[in-house]
Amino acid sequence: MGGERRGRGGGARRGGGGGGAGAAVVTGCSSGIGAALCGELARRGVRVFALGRDPGALRGLEAEGGAGGVVALRADVTDAQSLETAFAEAARQAPGGRIDLCVANAGVSGCGALAVQVRPPLPAPPPSFAPPAPPDRPPCAPPAGPRPPRRTAPPPPGRAASSDSGPLQEHRTVQSIFDTNVTGACATVQVAARHMLEQERQGPGGLRGVIAVTGSVTSEVCMPWAAAYCASKAAIKSLCRTSALELEPFGVRVTHLYTGAVKSKIADNALARDPLASYDAPDNPYHPYAAAIRGRARVSQGRAAWTAERYASEVATALLSPRPPREVVAGGGARALRLFARTLPERLQDWVACRRFGL
Ligand SMILES: NC(=O)c1ccc[n+]([C@@H]2O[C@H](COP(=O)([O-])OP(=O)(O)OC[C@H]3O[C@@H](n4cnc5c(N)ncnc54)[C@H](OP(=O)(O)O)[C@@H]3O)[C@@H](O)[C@H]2O)c1
């Protein structure tokens, strides 16, 4: 690496470090933000290693290429070994063996009421250990209007629902959100950081490399019906801030991508995993909120959403600048929501959230 190339934001730059990445690894590239970032970086002359669970789904990116070229590699971020293997292969193929930029982007969303989103089933407890029946009272205040009779209670945390169908069917959402968005992002940052720590400092900023993680406005703005997703993105914000402190002395920059609404497959993918049918059953305690929960599932895909290409262009300009910022704010509503979260009292924020999401 190290050849001259032209960056859209600032003309010709020398590759390496923060002066513009010569080679980049991006996770979660089969659609949406990841796919758009690969295309944008490659067009700017960066050699891109596009990681995904199904390399077949990345062939289009490889074919489209761009000046830098795109190479598809298999990696599931919940499988640390597959990440190690993909990074090793990327470093082997990268010009000069350097990985200058890593974007930990893979993520999943999930919608629903936390009380009925439980982790994967544990073995059923023996009858003698069965918990006592909870008192027959509603767990939350229902919206105005006639309330259906409540016949079933949510399973206690960690306990499987009694069947795979019905109003309280098993949702594997919480565990998979944390496995992918938090543990997967941590693993990606770790593997990238280890590669970068072994590299020489390069570029105008004297950086060894840049690591960015796709976070979300939900790291600060608490949006009902997505507690696990919001919590996972709050963890990402913390991961970025903390690892930035640990890596800064060694010349590795960590950037939090504070992301607003962007057109992608995120809602379709979440609804394919959990179509929210369980909320249609009248004996689901959250049945009265079914419409609000469905609306929340697609909230990021409304008219305010940026195209993935616009988002990728803004992010690429920031990440390829000589001194990438610690935080990039991009996507529909991101600036306004950041201001909302950082200036209004929490009680006022909660009031707005309840009005917006049907509580
Ligand atoms: N779109 C928005 O409005 C928005 C807003 C804020 C933050 N974000 C964040 O942006 C990131 C990208 O999401 P997107 O909106 O572009 O959604 P998307 O179109 O659904 O893309 C998500 C990508 O992550 C991949 N992925 C999921 N689990 C994975 C795993 N275990 N290992 C490797 N890859 C995995 C998916 O690959 P498969 O094809 O294999 O499933 C897909 O390529 C996520 O972190 C998301 O939380 C999005």
Higher pLDDT, 162 or 219: 219
Angstrom distance (rounded) from CA 291 to CA 107: 25
Ligand 1 midpoint to CA 257 (Å): 13
Q: What is the pLDDT of residue 52?
A: 97
Span 32-41, pLDDT tens digits: 999 999 999 9
Instruction: Work out the pLDDT band at 127, boundaries 50, 70, 90.
Output: low
- Spacing, Cα 266 to ligand 1 middle (Å): 6
What is the CA(44)–ligand 1 centre distance, in A?
23
pLDDT, residue 65, reads 82
Provide the pLDDT for residue 172.
63
Task: Assign 55 a pLDDT band (cuts: 50, 70, 90).
Answer: confident
C-beta 78 within 6 A of ligand 1? yes
Rg of the chain in Å (alpha carbons): 22
Tokens of 286: 């959250």
Confidence of residue 211 (pLDDT cuts 50, 70, 90): very high
Strands (E), 121-215: 209-214
Highest mean predicted confidence (pLDDT) among 4-18, 106-120, 268-282: 268-282
Task: Confirm or reject: Cβ of 288 under 6 Å from ligand 1.
Answer: no
Average pLDDT over residues 170-174: 63
Q: How many angstroms does the Cα of residue 109 sit away from the middle of ligand 1?
A: 8
333 lines ligand 1 (CB under 6 A): no
Whole-number average pLDDT of the chain: 84
Q: Which pLDDT does position 128 carry in this prediction?
A: 52
* Closest approach atom of ligand 1 to CA 217: 6
Going by C-alpha positions, the residue among 100, 79, 136 that lies closest to residue 324 is 100
Q: Is residue 232 within 6 Å of ligand 1 at its C-beta?
A: no
In this prediction, residue 118 has a pLDDT band, given cuts at 50, 70 and 90, of: low
High-pLDDT (> 90) share of the chain, %: 72
Residue of 15 and 274 predicted with greater confidence: 274
Q: Provide the pLDDT for residue 238.
A: 98
Nearest atom in ligand 1 to the alpha carbon of residue 33 is 16
State in Å: Cα 105 to ligand 1 middle: 6
Tens of pLDDT, residue by residue over 130-166, are 444 444 544 334 444 444 444 344 443 333 333 344 4
- Mean pLDDT for 72-94 is 97
Provide the pLDDT for residue 170.
Answer: 42
Q: Is 214 strand, coil or helix?
A: strand
- Closest residue CA from atom 40 of ligand 1: 53
Helix or strand holding residue 11 (H, E): strand 11-14
How far, in Å, CA of 170 to CA of 155, rounded? 9
